[in-house]
Amino acid sequence: MRPRETLTESQDERLLQVRLACPGITRTCDLTRAFTDLIRHQRGYLSLEWIRQSEQDAPKPMKSFAGFLRQDLHAVTAGLTLPRSSGVAEGHETA
């Protein structure tokens, strides 16, 4: 799931061959790239739209994942929007 622009020419060609041969993989790959974009760029406000698209026409495992995310949409949206930090808990042990 590296950014497309980082693929070598042969990797990009192979990916194209797989995508043409397997429409289910193509849709899964597109949705996965979109979800990765939500995470990398903290675009949680788009999470519901991503879930709707996935539930509509994704392969079954992706639909299941989307349904799981929908169950706690507020937490998912916050997790994909707010800055993440282990904060003061980092490096501390509790007894």
Identify the three-state secondary structure at position 93: coil
Q: Is the pLDDT of residue 51 over 80?
A: yes
CB count in 10 Å sphere of residue 66: 20
Q: If phi over 0 gives left and psi between -120 and 50 gives alpha, with beta otherwise, what is residue 91?
A: left
Q: What is the DSSP letter of 84?
A: P
Better-predicted residue by pLDDT, 36 or 90: 36
Mean pLDDT of 45-72: 94
Element (H, E) at 38: helix 23-40
pTM of the shown model = 0.74
Give the confidence band of 89 by pLDDT, cuts at 50, 70, 90: low
Inter-axis angle of helices 47-57 and 60-71, nearest 10: 140
